[in-house]
Amino acid sequence: MIKPHLSQNYLTLPNCFYSHVSPEPMQNSQLVSVNQLLKDKLNINLSDESLLDLCSGQLQTFNCQPIAQKYTGHQFGYYNPQLGDGRGLLLGQWIDQTNTAWDFHLKGAGRTPYSRSGDGRAVLRSTIREYLASEALAGLGVPTTRALALATSTEQVRREIMEPRATLLRVTQSHIRFGHFQYAASVGPDELEVLINFVINKHFPQWANLTYIEQAQNLLNDICIKTAKMIAKWQAIGFNHGVMNTDNFSILGETFDYGPFAFFDDFNSDYICNHSDTEGRYAYDQQAKIGVWNCQVLAGSFADILEEEEINTALNHYVITYNQHYISEMLLKLGINSLQENDKDLIGDLVGLLNKYQLDYHQFFRLLGQVNNEQSDLYNMLPTPGDFKGWFENLNERVKQEEGSFTDWQQRILDNNPSIVLRNYIAQMIIEQAEKGNFDPLNEWLTALQSPFKEHQHLHQYQQAPSLTNKGLSLSCSS
Ligand code: AMP
Ligand code: MG
């Protein structure tokens, strides 16, 4: 039988960028979920048995050379030179039918030279959260890594309590982080040049004939723009990442490394989803600013190649792109396709009201798309409807300038605002079931989150705003 092959293009880099590591196999393992949608998209013809082998680190039937990547990065504002894949291995690349290479990365694969004091393992709780959240963001049209499969075992891992071990097979076109550039620049100009060449050849072959300086400038511009677009989308969908360290930022502008993230329940601009983040460095309303801060750190790695003015140009691209995209994403949520001069105020006023009354963010838009008279559910959710009167009048005037009927407008709102959201209490319910061996809610939610704008009748009870005890759950970094 021919062994399924995963190539390993990362090996063309100097060996300071990685270490060869074999996974610590996971005992008594069991496949919890396979992401059929992603499997079909990439035309991955691997059986469940093969996927379980990959997830449990049984690589004998595979032709692959797993590695742990070396990188550094800023964590909570401080540079840490000791980072790298501490509990994940890049197994190699799957080449799809369009000849695109997809990294297969096994998260929770065991210790590596970069594990420091960690055990190299992942627990079921955190892998479920990443698995579902990445599908949720993909479903909402936000760039993100995804995962092909999730497996667990009877092995227990020590966290605050003992928890079931699990692994996640993460898939994306690149596992190169901002921190890779920080690391390369810290090693030397030659290593940085090799990394830039690698990234250009792999992801931007159209720039292959440009000068080195032009390549570096294009690359930095592109990363700044993509990062700004991603964060504009986070803000619009009401997503708080929680650990925006530069080692958790992908150079492709994809949401990367899910930890204590949260989707809003009630809108609260100061919301901090990570309860270890005591200063609120990564609070919801800091995300856009931290995005540019991270780009600035990245740009620091290019400081010997680019002039200050060129770096400022890239950072300006971030600011301009973010501002434009935030407005257009928010307008889409309001069912508005075009952009007019006062739209920024319309959005700013709405955000002010949502924040003042801390209304359920998702429910507000969903009900706006269903409003039909004064007795509607939307008006019932407003504590003082009078305070919203002026805003609704402005919205009505604005909507009149859009094409189509009132019904068309409402349909656009429903098409752009999810009926179901992976709120933290829901993720918690799914995790508790999974820890008891019931993976049905997980798989049911996986499918639902892949089409979040549709009504999902069987999940109807989750389409309401959560009860007081279920609201605003914040989590620690522990994973
Ligand atoms: P994170 O906060 O998950 O992005 O992780 C930050 C760094 O710690 C990365 O270099 C991880 O590889 C490493 N790390 C996180 N958890 C573990 C663990 N259980 N064992 C070893 N390394 C870990
Ligand atoms: Mg990380």
Three-state secondary-structure class, residue 370: coil
pLDDT 10s digits, 318-375: 999 999 999 999 999 999 999 999 999 999 999 999 999 999 999 999 999 999 877 7
Q: Are 126 and 89 in contact (CB under 8 A)?
A: no
Structure tokens at 264: 């809003």
pLDDT average, residue stretch 294-313? 98
How far apart CA 370 and CA 409 sit, in angstroms, is 10
List residues bridging with 31 in a β-sheet: 151
Q: pLDDT by residue (tens digit) across 57-105?
A: 999 999 899 999 999 999 999 999 999 999 999 999 999 999 999 999 9
Flag whether 147 is in a domain. yes
Alpha helices in 100-255 (DSSP H): 124-139, 178-187, 189-203, 212-237
Query: Does residue 87 have its Cβ closer than 6 Å to ligand 1?
Result: yes
- Average confidence score pLDDT of the chain: 96
CB contact at 8 A, 379 and 359: no
What spacing in Å lies between the alpha carbon of 113 and ligand 1's midpoint?
12
CA of 236 from ligand 2 middle (Å) equals 24
**The pLDDT value given to residue 429:** 97
CB of 248 within 6 A of ligand 1: the answer is yes
Give residue 2's pLDDT: 65
Q: Which atom of ligand 1 is nearest to the CA of 122?
A: 19
| pLDDT tier, 477 (very low <50, low <70, confident <90, very high otherwise) | low
State the average pLDDT over residues 442-466: 94
The residue contributing the CA closest to ligand 1 atom 8 is 86
Domain-embedded: residue 29: yes
Q: What is the pLDDT of residues 47-60, one digit of tens each?
A: 999 999 999 999 99
E strand or H helix at 416, and its extent?
helix 406-416
Does the residue 265 lie in any domain?
no
| Number of domains comprising the chain | 1
Q: How far is CA 79 from each of CA 72, 315, 454, rounded to the nearest angstrom?
A: 8, 20, 43
Q: Which of 67, 115, 177, 261 to mutate to test the pocket of ligand 1 (most atoms within 8 A of CB)?
A: 115
Closest residue by Cα to atom 5, ligand 1, is 86
Residues near ion ligand 2 (Cβ under 5 Å): 248, 257
> Closest Cα to residue 118, out of 128, 126, 109, 127?
109
285 φ/ψ angles, rounded to the nearest 5 degrees = -80, 5
- Any alpha helices (H) in 269-405, and if so which ranges? 287-300, 308-333, 343-357, 361-368, 377-381, 385-400
Share of the chain above pLDDT 70, in %: 99
Active site residue 247: yes
State whether the Cα torsion 433-422-476-248 is positive or negative.
positive
Find out whether the beta carbon of 130 lies less than 6 Å from any atom of ligand 1: no
| Beta strands at 73-75 and 146-158: parallel, antiparallel or unpaired | unpaired
Please tell me the distance from the alpha carbon of residue 212 to that of residue 207, in angstroms, as a whole number.
Answer: 10
Beta bridge partners of 164: 156
User: Of all protein residues, whose CA lies closest to atom 23 belonging to ligand 1?
Assistant: 86
CA pseudo-torsion sign 387, 393, 398, 399: positive
Tell me: the pLDDT tens digits for 234-272? 999 999 999 999 999 999 999 999 999 999 999 999 999
Residue 474 has pLDDT above 80, yes or no: no
Ligand 2 midpoint to CA 312 (Å): 27
Instruction: Pick the atom of ligand 1 nearest to 248's CA.
Output: 4
Q: In ligand 1, which atom is closest to the CA atom of 84?
A: 10
Q: What is the pLDDT of residue 329?
A: 98
- Report whether residue 193 contacts ligand 1, using a CB cutoff of 6 Å: no
Q: What distance in Å separates the CA atoms of residue 409 and residue 286, rounded to the nearest whole number?
A: 32
Q: Which amino acid is at 143?
A: P
Predicted pLDDT at 394: 97
C-beta of residue 169 within 8 angstroms of C-beta of residue 54: yes
The answer to whether the CB of 72 is under 6 A from ligand 1 is no
Please check whether residue 365 is in contact with residue 415, taking contact to mean a CB–CB distance below 8 angstroms: no
Would you say the CB of residue 81 lies under 6 angstroms from ligand 1? Answer: no
Q: Which residues contact 467 (CB under 8 A, 6 or more apart)?
A: none
**Domain contains 241:** no
Q: Is the CB of 108 under 6 A from ligand 1?
A: no
Q: Are 430 and 132 in contact (CB under 8 A)?
A: yes
CA–CA dist 441, 461 (Å, integer):
13
Looking at residue 1, its pLDDT comes to 57
Local structure of 376: helix, strand or coil: coil
Q: In the predicted model, what is the mean pLDDT of residues 387-391? A: 95
Q: What percent of the chain has pLDDT over 90?
A: 94
Q: Is 129 in the pocket of ligand 1 (CB under 6 A)?
A: no
Contacts of 475 (CB under 8 A, 6+ apart): 242, 259, 260, 262, 273, 274, 275, 424
Pick from 21, 74, 87 the residue to mutate for probing ligand 1's pocket: most ligand atoms within 8 Å of its CB: 87
Q: What is the pLDDT of residues 414-427, one digit of tens each?
A: 999 999 999 999 99
For residues 252 and 246, give the distance between their C-alpha atoms in angstroms, rounded to a whole number: 13
Q: Residue 279: how many CB atoms within 10 A of its CB? A: 10
| CA 127 to ligand 2 centroid distance, Å | 13
CA distance 52 to 446: 18
Would you say the CB of residue 259 lies under 6 angstroms from ligand 1?
Answer: yes
Q: Which residues of 29-50 are buried (b: 16+ CB within 10 A; e: fewer)?
A: bbbbbbbebbbeebebebeeeb
**Contacts with 326 (C-beta within 8 Å, 6 or more apart), sequence order:** 232, 235, 236, 288
317: closest CA among 218, 219, 225, 223?
225
In DSSP terms, 74 is beta-bridged to 79
Distance 245 CA to ligand 1 centre (A): 12
Domain of 67, in residue numbers:
9-172
Q: Which candidate in 247, 265, 266, 277 is catalytic?
A: 247
What is the rounded distance in angstroms from the CA atom of residue 436 to the CA atom of residue 7?
37
Residue at 282 is within a domain: no
Longest dimension (CA), the chain: 72
Does any domain span residue 17? yes
Assigned domain for 98 exists: yes
Q: What angle do CA 222, 73, 171 make, to 5 degrees?
A: 60
pLDDT, tens digit, 9 for 90 and up, residues 400-416: 999 999 999 999 999 99
Residue 463 pLDDT greater than 90, yes or no: no
pTM score = 0.97
Q: Is residue 294 part of a domain?
A: no
Lowest mean pLDDT, pick from 9-23, 262-276, 453-467:
453-467
Q: Are 167 and 109 in contact (CB under 8 A)?
A: yes
> Residue 13 corresponds to which amino acid?
L
C-alpha R_g of the chain = 23
Distance CA(20)–CA(106), nearest Å, equals 14
Q: Which of 129, 120, 176, 173 is nearest to 150 (CA)?
A: 129
**3-state SS class at 464:** coil
